[in-house]
Chain A
Amino acid sequence: MSDIILGVESTAHTAGVGIITSEGKILSNQRSVYIPDEGEGIHPREAANHHVEKFPELFKNAFEEASLSPKEITLVSYARGPGLGPCLRTGATAARAFAYTHKIPILGVNHCVAHLEIGLLEGATDPVLLYLSGANTQVIAYAEGRYRVFGETIDIGIGNGLDKFAREAGMGFPGGPKLEKIAEGDKLIDLPYSVKGMDLAFSGLMTAAKQKLDSGHSLSSVAYSVQETAFAMSCEVAERALAHTGKTELVLGGGVACNSRLREMAMIMTKERGVNCFVPERSLCVDNGVMIGWLGYQMMSANYQLAEEDNMVNQKYRTDMVEVTWR
């Protein structure tokens, strides 16, 4: 009999409940995103309040869409971290309440690893993950028993950088997609291109972009140049990781991986390099419960030994802290 897994996501803006079968069939992917007040960034407590209010409805909708009763779930999985403490606790509490009520096994998993493993569902076997989201900007690959971070931002996450620039330019949250819509042009404005080895930095780029805007360049041309520069940096470090590890697959993950120009650049890079590129559909790139459920199933089906700490949230749960025993 096939397993049916329920995954709960709540690391940052998104409250998500996903249901997926052990064969990888997605039965439901319910999401609700907290939108901060205009001109403001995320407030962890406000976001957590949003999640608390939305979770009952998300659970209900997920079961309706999947045409299942709660008793048919065989495993509950939730995101332990990394993320914002108040937000993490709402998802963990919802998952526990559900699991204990229906006497279903439960475990917490690493959010970043889930972004990578959902790429395996697309057919990748041993990829490099270019993980671009609000807070996280990492190049991750498997080596010697762990998913290791080969490169990452040394200041701010790419998405937070884009959001911040958009906010200062008078656009609301989420800024990244809004910039994508107005980005236009073919002439590139020179902006700092900061790649150090396999690491990147974005804050100088975003500050310079704001200055270009203030000095009279049009918003659409600055947005265009910011995208061209930031995504080229990201693709370069991904290619460096591919060259360094000798791996032949790239997976894109994270909310910024929804950007069409980024996807196009990643496709060109991998094609020129002769490696495969796997791009999960947008609803699986952004934060979602499905990937959390899928990773939980991967771990449990390989007889992962649950420890007490697997049922506690951890704000600082880094990618490379996870001992990968299920591969």
Chain B
Amino acid sequence: MKFRGAEAIVETIDWQGITAISKVRNKRGYRHLSLEKRLVTERLRSESRIMERLLSQGISVPAIYSVNPVENSIIMEFIDGQTLERALRTDVFNSHLEDLAYLLSKIHSLGVIHGDPTTSNFLVKDQLYAIDFGLASMSDDPEGRASDLRVFLESLDSHHSEINGREIFLDAYSKWKDSKAVLEALNVLELRGRYNLMRG
């Protein structure tokens, strides 16, 4: 498998006899060199630190095998599952949505904002895994958490308009004890005009 993502080349490699994922942030020629360096270094560092943090707390994310700041690469566990995007096209989409709400609330409760929780950034195997923490950050701010929910709901809406997943997902997320402020922030965010038919 080899995939050219929006900021990195992600491929499966053989790493000391096991199949692993290598994620290399290659240079973006359109970006100013110093901006490019700043972003790549920041993102590599934050991605590996955040994944380590989640791993140590027992959250299902790929294990990190190696980080190389010179090559801007991370080598991590290969999760051989199907994307949530595909899994949501099956009959059991409700339980996937509930699992996701639980996983995301656990991630949030540990002070992490995923940053890009679209349906392609979760894998279903024996359990649900969160991947791609390239845009993740550390924050306890309800607005950051709400922004995660909105990114997910938007990807749900643009890729899965046939299912009405919003309610199932938000219901499950609201079971988390600290969810109230997040859902209120989501409400504010969505009322901030552009999500509420204000703009084209």
Contact = CB atoms under 8 A, between A and B. Distances in A.
A236 B200 contact: no
Contacts of A247: none
Contacts of B158: 143, 148-150
B165 to A, nearest CB: 15
B18 to A, nearest CB: 27
Nearest to B33: A188
Most chain B C-beta atoms within 10 Å of own C-beta, residue among A148, A196, A229: A196
A188 B31 CA distance: 11
Interface string B142-157: 0000010001001001
Contacts of B200: 81-83, 110-112, 136, 138, 316-319
A236 B35 CA distance: 13
A153 B31 CA distance: 20
Contacts of B34: 187-188
B38 A190 contact: yes
A266 B159 contact: no
Interface string A200-231: 00000000000000000000000000001101
A90 B102 CA distance: 51
A188 B5 CA distance: 26
B6 A243 contact: yes
Interface residues of B, number: 34
Instruction: Decide if the interface of chain B is mainly helix, strand, loop or mixed.
Output: loop
Contacts of A146: 161
Contacts of A190: 38
B47 interface: no
B28 A316 contact: no
A265 B159 contact: no
Interface of A: 81-83, 110-112, 135-136, 138, 143-144, 146, 148-150, 152-154, 187-188, 190, 193, 195-199, 228-229, 231-232, 235-236, 239-240, 242-244, 264-266, 268-269, 272-273, 316-319, 321
Interface of B: 4-7, 28-32, 34-35, 38-39, 115-118, 120, 135, 147, 151, 154, 157-159, 161-162, 189, 192, 194, 197-200
23 contacts: A81-B200, A82-B199, A136-B200, A144-B161, A148-B157, A149-B158, A187-B34, A188-B35, A196-B116, A196-B151, A197-B135, A197-B147, A197-B151, A198-B151, A199-B151, A235-B31, A236-B7, A244-B118, A265-B31, A268-B29, A269-B30, A316-B197, A318-B200
A-B pairs, 4 with minimum CB distance: A82-B200, A265-B30, A240-B6, A197-B151
